[in-house]
């Protein structure tokens, strides 16, 4: 757990929340809306930390008793609403953990903060139960809903909350952050940042994942020589890719990134814009072999392969058709 200063790329949201504390204009209900691993929980916890700080610090001083309790996830006035059913936050979850508890005044703070993670899993009944509390909350209560899809909330809930949308973070910001904090080389940071599509949490997961590096190595090994393999080797390649059946979406995305690099370099000759910068010599070699139409055909074949996998077409057949399409182009 960290404070606002450790949050990357969401400066406007941090500024908004810190100003609310500074001006004593904290809302009673917030929605933090963004993809998985985009930093919603980190922002909510940093907000709670600053709210609970005994030194009235908009950052959280990290030293007072309250800050230490929040950092240790054991502050009595920061409540995490949980749910036992994997896909539903039930009306009982909301009533027991939030509605019934909210009438009790804070133990030793000015505020009482409720963090509802995966809030999109609230059904209509639980949303209606929450609505009653949001309509007339005690002055000290702050409810933070973390969600991947705010569109699933009732309009009446949306109208009573301040909605903060987490935007994608710039690639160069993520690259710098990964290199500085995770001590990884620039070429690895570039791949993780590009692959995360502006999601810092996902980029961190990829940077720390030996499985992702192994997956990347397998993809590069294949794309570098798929044009030259014979039919026997084609069978071996299909077998090899089957080992990554559970990660096939990521496998295809890495292949897509490779061919987009080739297309980009063919069009611009600019090394700096490449994702796989460390493979520039191989990319130059492949640029000479592929026409623009050929690269477009390969990208289309990858899109088709993704659709076929989702439609449960035979896995080996999908991979074989894809490899043949790449070989032909």
- Cα(254)–Cα(194) distance, rounded to whole angstroms? 10
CATH topology of domain 209-328: Zinc Finger, Delta Prime; domain 3 (1.20.272)
- Cα(229)–Cα(235) distance, rounded to whole angstroms? 10
CB 169 within 8 A of CB 16: no
Average pLDDT over residues 256-275: 90
User: Is the pLDDT score of 311 beyond 70?
Assistant: yes
Closest CA to 45 of 80, 93, 84: 80
pLDDT score of 84 = 86
What is the spatial order of strands in the sheet that 29-33 belongs to? 78-81, 112-116, 141-147, 29-33, 162-165
Percent of the chain with pLDDT over 90: 44
Closest CA to 58 of 96, 8, 92, 14: 14
In this prediction the pTM is 0.72
Task: Read off the pLDDT of residues 52-105 as tens digits, 9 standing for 90 and up.
Answer: 998 877 888 888 999 999 989 999 999 999 998 889 999 999 999 999 999 999
Closest CA to 299 of 264, 266, 255: 255
Average pLDDT over residues 238-255: 85
176: its two tokens: 């710098």
| CA dist list (Å): 75 to 2, 71, 84, 105, 140 | 15, 8, 22, 14, 15
CB 129 within 8 A of CB 95: yes
Name residue, tokens 């600019």.
270
Q: Looking only at Cα atoms, what is the longest distance across the chain?
A: 73
| CATH code that applies to domain 4-165 | 3.40.50.300
Task: Read off the pLDDT of residues 186-205 as tens digits, 9 standing for 90 and up.
Answer: 888 888 888 887 888 888 88
CB 7 within 8 A of CB 42: yes
1 — pLDDT class (breaks 50, 70, 90) = low
- String of DSSP letters for 106-117: PSSSS-EEEEET
User: Is the pLDDT score of 323 beyond 90?
Assistant: no
User: Is the pLDDT score of 245 beyond 80?
Assistant: yes
Contacting residues for 5 by C-beta, under 8 A, at least 6 apart = 59
User: Is the pLDDT score of 227 beyond 80?
Assistant: no
Beta-carbon neighbour count of residue 25 at 10 Å? Answer: 8
pLDDT score of 187 = 83
Domain boundaries of the chain, sorted by first residue: 4-165, 209-328
Give burial (CB, 10 Å; 0-12/13-18/19+) of 128.
middle
Sign of torsion, CA 242 244 247 248?
Answer: negative
User: Is the pLDDT score of 157 beyond 90?
Assistant: yes
């Amino acid at each position: 757990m960290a404070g606002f200063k450790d949050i990357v790329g969401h400066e406007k949201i941090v500024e908004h929340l810190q100003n609310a504390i500074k001006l004593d204009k904290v809302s009673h209900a917030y929605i933090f809306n963004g993809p998985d691993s985009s930093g919603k929980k980190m922002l909510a916890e940093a907000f709670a930390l600053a709210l609970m700080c005994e030194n009235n610090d908009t950052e959280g001083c990290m030293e007072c008793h309250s800050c230490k309790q929040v950092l240790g996830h054991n502050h009595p006035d920061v409540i995490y609403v949980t749910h036992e059913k994997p896909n539903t936050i039930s009306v009982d979850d909301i009533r027991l953990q939030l509605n019934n508890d909210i009438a009790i005044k804070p133990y030793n703070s000015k505020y009482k903060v409720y963090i509802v993670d995966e809030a999109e899993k609230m059904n209509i009944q639980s949303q209606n139960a929450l609505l009653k509390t949001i309509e007339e909350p005690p002055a000290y209560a702050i409810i933070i809903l973390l969600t991947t899809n705010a569109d699933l909330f009732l309009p009446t809930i949306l109208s009573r909350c301040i909605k903060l949308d987490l935007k994608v973070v710039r690639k160069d910001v993520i690259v710098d952050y990964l290199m500085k904090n995770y001590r990884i080389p620039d070429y690895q940071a570039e791949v993780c940042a590009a692959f995360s599509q502006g999601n810092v949490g996902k980029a961190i997961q990829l940077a720390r994942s030996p499985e992702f590096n192994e997956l990347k190595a397998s993809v590069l090994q294949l794309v570098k020589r798929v044009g030259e393999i014979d039919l026997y080797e084609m069978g071996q390649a299909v077998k090899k890719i089957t080992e990554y059946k559970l990660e096939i979406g990521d496998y295809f995305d890495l292949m897509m990134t490779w061919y987009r690099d080739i297309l980009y370099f063919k069009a611009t000759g600019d090394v700096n814009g490449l994702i796989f910068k460390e493979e520039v010599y191989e990319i130059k070699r492949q640029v000479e072999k592929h026409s623009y139409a050929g690269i477009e055909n390969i990208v289309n074949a990858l899109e088709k392969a993704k659709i076929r996998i989702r439609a449960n077409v035979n896995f080996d057949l999908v991979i074989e058709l894809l490899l043949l399409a790449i070989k032909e182009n």
